[in-house]
Amino acid sequence: MPVIAQEAASPVVGETPLAQVAIIIDDLGLRLEQDLRVLALPGAITNSVLPRATHTHRIAALAKRLNKEVMIHLPMESVGYGQLDAGGLTTDMSHDMFKSMVESHIAALPEAVGINNHMGSLLTADSERMRWLMDIITHQTSLYFVDSRTSVNSVALYRARDNGIPSLSRDIFLDNELDEAKIERQFDALIDVAQRRGKAIAIGHPNRETIAVLERRLPTLAKLGVELVPVSELLRPKPIKLPLPRQAEPLSEPVRMAKRDAYEEFILQSGMLGLRKPVRFFQRDKLE
């Protein structure tokens, strides 16, 4: 069993991280040994767990004990892909069946703080079903949503934002191709996006190649001024840094002149400023 790593210190450059990345590892709950290696990765990896997999509850509970963020990896129907994981959502479900299925998945993973779609190239393009999903999330939970963007036609992010759900979408897939050199290039692309935009999200899977690359590359983030954070941190409102008020400068002579009273004007014009003794002005006594 792998040794669970300690959380890495946040990288700072002048006490402020230059960029933040979140890395979601999907499909957890199916392969215990690989899942444990994911939980042993250093830093704030976000763990997306299939709601009805063999090791779902064990992995979710362990992740929470380790202060690792947990998401529900919600199975959804895809284009041209017949087999769907247990508990998958499909376009032929009635509203009541759809709602019951989503609610059962949420109840099964109380450790979760967010949801992202597993597959779903067909369902995430269905505006009505995405509205159903977001209504459930809005009215029954405080979960955030991440669109895995498995289809260019996805409307999931827009429906989530219409409902006021904290939401983001995936920027980079790390391991569409299971080759370590190609995964390295995708990791470089993640860093590039984060440094240009200030933040970025990647999705990977508990494959041997992906884990090997992450084991090598995660410890290098600090030197790049990049901080690994859970997805929820990217959704946290950042404080607005207002400029410090400028120190008041002495008023210039013309402004001071404008504020002088008649006595001051008399002194200036009469040349009496050079006198060592103060000048006194007397009012004429009023007649009795």
pLDDT digit string, tens, across residues 130-160: 999 999 999 999 999 999 999 999 999 999 9
pLDDT digit string, tens, across residues 203-241: 999 999 999 999 999 999 999 999 999 999 999 987 655
Q: Residue 170 above 60 pLDDT?
A: yes
Task: Give the side-chain half-sphere CA count within 13 A for 251.
Answer: 8
Query: Closest Cα to residue 45, out of 258, 232, 265, 245?
Result: 232
CA-to-CA separations, 53 to 39, 40, 58, 60, 85, in angstroms, rounded = 17, 20, 10, 11, 8
- For range 79-97, the mean pLDDT: 89
Q: How far apart are alpha carbons 25 and 146 in whole angstroms?
A: 13
Q: How far apart are alpha carbons 218 and 221 in whole angstroms?
A: 6
- Residue 83: the pLDDT is 77
Q: Quick one: which H or E segment has residue 118? A: strand 114-119
Q: How far apart are alpha carbons 214 and 25 in whole angstroms?
A: 11
Residue 75: pLDDT band by 50, 70, 90 thresholds?
Answer: very high
Pick the CATH number of 19-235 from 3.30.70.20, 3.40.50.10860, 3.20.20.370, 1.10.1660.10: 3.20.20.370
Place of tokens 């992010």: 157
pTM attached to this predicted model: 0.79
- Residue 58: the pLDDT is 98
Q: How far apart are alpha carbons 45 and 7 in whole angstroms?
A: 10
**Helix spans in the chain (H):** 32-39, 56-65, 95-108, 127-140, 156-162, 180-197, 208-217, 231-235, 253-258, 262-270
